[in-house]
Amino acid sequence: MTDAQTSGVIWPVPAGEAEVETQVRKSRFIARAAPAASREEALAVVERARQDHPEARHHCWAYVIGAPGRATSAAMNDDGEPSGTAGRPILNVIEHKGIGDVAVVVIRYFGGVKLGAGGLVRAYAGAAEAVLSSLALDQREPRVSLQLEAGFADEQPLRLELERLGGELESIEYGQGVSVRVSVPAAAWDTISSWAAARGLEVTAGT
């Protein structure tokens, strides 16, 4: 396994959604934070914000997928604001907060007063800070996938061991034996490997 799989790092993730509105020199900034475990889920959060606020001038966003500091995916978008004044400040706040699997959209209704580059950076960062500070959080533990080749008699004991370890059976195929793909908390890798070795089962790390 990789260091990321075995590190046992537990990171905060959104427990739900949050929305906070702020005003800066007559412009309204509505910041929304929501769970996003994939790029597709993050972009769906953005699209929903566009549908909820079709009259807004800008829908600027950023997301981080995976553990903070070792994200599997991250992106940002200024949506028409000057480059670097919206998406980057939002992403910087997410990374500073150390939250993973999250998407933040800041919706701006222009109030007629230009803020300048520095003002925009402060406004978008402040909106992101406000919504992430109000966001309820859960803890997420990294998981690993394993492929096991077993006999028919091993299936039920395996299911019981997975239940004990907090694992999940992802797929199962029957042939001359049983080919099973499972996921378990990273911290349980050694335990499930030792259990399988004691029964003479072949175990490989999933991809």
Note whether 129 and 149 are same-domain residues: no
For residue 120, pLDDT beyond 70: yes
Amino acid letter, 206:
G
Note the pLDDT of residue 206.
Answer: 56
Note whether 122 and 23 are same-domain residues: yes
Note whether 146 and 133 are same-domain residues: no
Considering Cα of 140, then 142, then 147, then 153, what sign does the dihedral take?
negative
Looking at 58-200, which runs of residues are DSSP E strands? 58-65, 73-77, 102-109, 137-140, 143-150, 168-174, 178-185
Q: Is 180 exposed, middle or buried (0-12, 13-18, 19+ CB in 10 A)?
A: buried
For residue 58, pLDDT beyond 80: yes
**In this structure, what CATH number is given to the domain that contains residue 198?**
3.30.70.240
Note whether 188 and 134 are same-domain residues: no
Note whether 9 and 61 are same-domain residues: yes
Q: What's the mean pLDDT in 81-89?
A: 96
Closest CA to 129 of 97, 103, 83, 170: 97
pTM comes to 0.68
Comparing 16-25, 36-45, 140-149, 159-168, the range with the smallest average pLDDT is 140-149
Note whether 81 and 161 are same-domain residues: no
Note whether 32 and 91 are same-domain residues: yes
* Domain's final residue, options 139, 168, 196: 139
Note whether 7 and 71 are same-domain residues: yes
**In this structure, what CATH number is given to the domain that contains residue 38?**
3.30.230.30
| Six-digit token string for 91 | 């992403």
Domain extent, residue 178, equals 142-205
| Domains in the chain, number | 2
